[in-house]
């Protein structure tokens, strides 16, 4: 997935755009009085019935909603609160025929005139792409045009995917010039909520569950039965923890307002082949619904430049934590060796870890 695609479609991309774009876009937000005369969030949408879709076989979109206002997609996640403001002011979501959930894209809308106060309304996306063009008719309906067929795809994806696959993933030839009715803001929020429904079993984000000054220990010990049924798994025991050393490191140089950015964690692994524990320290930052943690030379058993070795932490059901290791970035093998450069080719990729007493993570 390229940066443009991630920025256009992800909540963490919204936050990153805010950092890149500064305050100029935010200052222009919610000033298009045609869409929102009173400055409140505005919603427009349409759900097409079977008769319309039958009469327009080249239209894939069965439901479409346009929201002008504050971000209806993001929700509390692992990103620091200081970085969570969005400079987008426009959001489109569509559901194509047969799809179970909508897709969405965000951008920002302004008048095309030099003073930004008159002329047609153009909505842009990241990487200099077009989200849509807008105008309001005399009945208050929103005319949405210039919706690009590859709005949910990377620029240049037609060449990459091939014509047949591109046509399957792109919007249809009649998916443009939509006439959307004004609706309550709550209607749009409910539609955007269908994109990624909140799973109540996951509980609080890790950044709320685990405090900056709080030690923690998660882990798992695999028994003989499990290892026998997973012959490619090297890991016999694993711990993920913050102890006195990691707490002191954050206390001396970390910023609690940016938590979990800058949080150090330690990962200890014991394998079938080696009875001795190997420990690796990682430095983490919040990224959407996960912590992205890069291997650090601090408190490490390795001395090479290993900053590109990463793991990912996510909250999981019933107070557990998921650790993803897609690039051999656990200390199962020597992180400095060439054999650690490729993808993990074993069962040592994803771990579901249970909370444990701090004594279980003691050196």
Closest CA to 69 of 108, 118, 23, 16: 108
**103-143: per-residue pLDDT in tens?**
999 999 998 876 666 678 999 988 788 999 999 999 999 99
Closest CA to 68 of 13, 115, 116, 106: 106
State pTM to two decimals.
0.63
Domain boundaries, the chain: 3-198, 206-361
Quote the pLDDT of residue 4.
Answer: 53
Q: Which residue has the higher pLDDT, 88 or 176?
A: 176
Concatenated DSSP letters of 266-330: EEEEEESS--S-EEEEEEEEEETTEEEEEEESTT-S--S--TT-EEEEEE-GGG-EEEE-TTS-S
Quote the pLDDT of residue 15.
Answer: 31
CATH code for the structural domain at 206-361: 2.40.128.20
Using CA atoms, how far apart are residues 138 and 355, in angstroms rounded to an integer?
60
Using CA atoms, how far apart are residues 256 and 82, in angstroms rounded to an integer?
11
CB 313 within 8 A of CB 242: no
Query: Using the 8-state DSSP alphabet, how is residue 252 labeled?
Result: H
- Residue 260, preceding bond cis, omega within 30 degrees? yes
Mean residue pLDDT of the chain comes to 83
In the chain, what's the furthest Cα-to-Cα distance?
76
* CA 290 to each of CA 1, 80, 216, 286: distance values in angstroms, whole numbers, following the listed order: 17, 12, 17, 6
């Amino acid at each position: 997935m390229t940066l443009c695609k991630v920025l256009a479609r992800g909540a963490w991309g919204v936050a990153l755009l805010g950092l890149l774009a500064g305050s100029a876009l935010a200052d222009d937000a919610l000033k298009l009085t045609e869409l929102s005369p009173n400055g409140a969030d505005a919603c427009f949408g349409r759900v097409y019935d079977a008769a319309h879709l039958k009469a327009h076989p080249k239209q894939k979109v069965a439901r479409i909603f346009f929201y002008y206002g504050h971000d209806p997609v993001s929700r509390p996640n692992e990103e620091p609160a200081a970085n969570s403001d969005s400079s987008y002011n426009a959001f489109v979501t569509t559901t194509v025929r047969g799809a179970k959930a909508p897709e969405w894209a965000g951008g920002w809308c302004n008048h095309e005139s030099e003073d930004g106060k008159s002329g047609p309304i153009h909505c842009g996306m990241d990487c200099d792409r077009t989200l849509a063009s807008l105008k309001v008719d005399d009945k208050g309906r929103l005319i949405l045009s210039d919706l690009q067929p590859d709005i949910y795809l990377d620029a240049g994806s037609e060449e990459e995917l091939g014509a047949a696959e591109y046509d399957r993933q792109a919007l249809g030839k009649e998916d443009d010039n939509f006439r959307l009715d004004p609706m309550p803001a709550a209607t749009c929020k409910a539609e955007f909520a269908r994109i990624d429904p909140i799973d109540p079993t996951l509980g609080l984000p890790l950044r709320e569950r685990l405090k900056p000054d709080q030690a923690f220990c998660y882990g798992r010990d695999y028994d003989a039965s499990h290892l026998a049924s997973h012959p490619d798994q090297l890991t016999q025991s694993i711990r993920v923890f913050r102890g006195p050393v990691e707490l002191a490191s954050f206390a001396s140089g970390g910023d609690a307002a940016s938590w979990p950015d800058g949080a150090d964690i330690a990962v200890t692994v014991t394998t079938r082949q080696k009875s001795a524990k190997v420990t690796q320290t990682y430095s983490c930052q919040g990224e959407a619904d996960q912590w992205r943690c890069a291997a650090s030379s601090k408190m490490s058993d390795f001395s090479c430049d290993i900053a590109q070795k990463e793991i990912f932490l996510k909250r999981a059901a019933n107070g557990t934590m998921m650790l993803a290791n897609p690039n051999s970035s656990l200390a199962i093998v020597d992180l400095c060796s060439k054999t650690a450069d490729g993808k993990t080719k074993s069962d040592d990729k994803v771990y579901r870890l249970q909370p444990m007493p701090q004594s279980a993570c003691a050196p």
